[in-house]
Structures are given as C-alpha cells and as structure tokens.
Structure 1
C-alpha cells in the first residue's frame, strides 16, 4: 500500500506540549517505536530514502519514504511483530517485496542495510476539521522532544490552516526536521 503524505509540523516546548495535551486528553495515547535502517556508508540517506520498521502493541509495518516535489510518497507493508523482530534483531535480512525492490532499483544493496537504532513516540492522534492531527512526545538517544503534526490532502490549504491553528493556540511555528533526520543527527553522520 502506498500514499502521498502531506504534513506540516512544529516543534513544541514543554509548556506548549502540556497545553496541547489538554486538548487531546480524551484520546488514549499509543506507543510506537521506529527502527531506522541504512548502510554503513549511508546509501539510503545519499539516495534521499528513509526506511523504518514501526512497531505497535499488536503489530508492525515497514515503510519506505521517498520525497516528492509536494509531500512524501510512503510505501507501507504490514508485518507481524515476530516478522519485525526478526528483521530488527537479526542480520536485517529483508524479505523480497515491493519495498526491497524499490530500494534495489535506487542502487542500494539491501543486504548491507542495518538497524541504526530507534525512536519511541507516545502519540495522541485525532481527526479535526483541518486534517489528521498528532501530538507526539519522542524519546531517542537520551533526548526527549515534542511536536505537533497535521496531515492534510491539500498542501496550500493545509499550510494556511495549520498556521492559523498555531496562531489561535498561541504557538510560534518552530521548524521541525523529520523524526528520522532528528534521530540521524545524533549519529554524527557527515554529509
């Protein structure tokens, strides 16, 4: 399954997160852990690709992200927790599927992929009039950060709606790199 993801996000400070959390208090939090994969020489990153396995309480999924002019094309494959664990903890022997085919087509050797580490998110998510909103607390490499995301269908309208929502909430827009980029920044990767 694949879809085009168009999202806007901002980093939050602890006070902003606490204030937003009260708006999401009726939503049960979900814990998800993202495991990120690349080669020793960061071939995925050099090809502008991002590969993760995300585990949940009762399942998992493998996702390949490919940036587009507007948004990011995501290819997702459902995995069982056992399948995910085998890939994460083993020699990263990736099964043959559409994702591994796309990785090979981009010139990356799947047999050289390895688990770089993980980022755990406690997420509260709800559908709003302006799009699917997610409030995240992220824990990785002994760091904690907070972000607010809005996933939309229309890029221009979504951007305007998100900015208006932040003004309404008294939140200053703060640039938010992707989770994988923030995680990778802890690895001291040289570009």
Structure 2
C-alpha cells in the first residue's frame, strides 16, 4: 500500500529501551530485515530517495521512499519470500511504479545491488496518538535502540511525541533514518 509517512523518532539508551520494552511486553515481537539497495555511485541516495527490500517471516515488500515537504511518500510492492530472495541475489526490478520512478531519474538500474542490511526486532502498537514502534536494530556488529511514532498530522504528532517522551522520562536523541545509520556505520574509517 502506498502512503505518506510522517514519523517522529528518537534513539534510546539501552536502559530507556528496556523500560519501554517492559511497558509493551504484551505486544509480540516481529522480526524484519531491511536490505538496502543502490548503485556504487549512490545515485538513489543522491536523489534523496531510498530503496529497500524488507523481509518478514512469511512475506516481503519492495519499498521506495521519496521525500515530500513533510514526511516521505512510500511506494510499496508486496513480494513473496522467494521473489525477495531472488531480488536480493540479483536486483532486477519488476514492472512497477517503483521501477518507473527510478527510470525517470535516469539512474542506471543495471548497476544497483544490495549494499547493506539491518535486522529489527519490533514491538508495534496503535495508540491514540499514532502508530508506535519500539525497535532493537542490529547491523554488522552494532546494536541500537529506537522509538518511532507514525502520525497523520505533523504538528499534533510532534506535540504528542514530545509529551510521550516526557511522560516516560526519555531524553530526545536525534535519530537519522535506519538506512543513513547503516551507511554511516559502513563508511566510517
């Protein structure tokens, strides 16, 4: 399903994460792995977009995120796990809105490949203020913790997010996107 994503996020200390994890322990953990795709010149990134395949236990999806004035527009294409495995091994984008958008940017799609991955153990629940995700992320030998709140109204969402952090005594810590954190980690000497 394609949609506009407006979200607020903060990195969490391990202690903050563990406290929230206890608060939301009644919500089952879902494991997902993101495989990030670009070419060696990082042409998709240069267009301020990101392309990934996300796999779950029994399904997968291809997602292109395109920045908007507020948030990102997400174009999603459902995949079977088998289709995802084939794409991860050899990126040949299927006919789709995602492929059309990338072709229109003149990116050479024959050069794109998976350059990194991140696995998330997520507890996700819908609250009155929006869709809350509590994430433990692992990439290479690094683990980080993150809280996200996806909202429909940017202004009210920001107020609600700040109130949630205050209520749970969480110090806001700027969080780059997951793809940016993996890229930075892999490209730091």
Query: In structure 2, what is the Cα distance between the partners aligned to 1:106 and 1:4?
Result: 20
Task: After superposition, give the CA deviation of every residue in 1:61-89 in whole Å (9 maximum; x if it has no partner).
Answer: 00000111101000001000000000101
| Equivalent residue number for residue 31 of structure 1 | 31
- Please state how far the C-alpha of 1:105 moved relative to its aligned partner: 0.7
Aligned length: 189
1:1-191 matches, cutoff 5 A = 1-89=1-89, 91-188=90-187
- Please state how far the C-alpha of 1:187 moved relative to its aligned partner: 2.6
Query: In structure 1, what is the Cα distance between the partners aligned to 2:49 and 2:164?
Result: 31
Runs of 4+ in 1 over 4 A off after TM superposition: none
Query: In structure 2, what is the Cα distance between the partners aligned to 1:187 and 1:46?
Result: 17
Query: In structure 2, what is the Cα distance between the partners aligned to 1:106 and 1:141?
Result: 31
Give structure 1 stretches of 5+ with no counterpart. none
Aligned residue for 1:186, secondary structure, equals helix
TM-score by length of 1: 0.96
Give structure 2 stretches of 5+ with no counterpart. none
TM-score by length of 2: 0.97
Query: In structure 2, what is the Cα distance between the partners aligned to 1:83 and 1:33?
Result: 15
Query: In structure 2, what is the Cα distance between the partners aligned to 1:10 and 1:82?
Result: 34
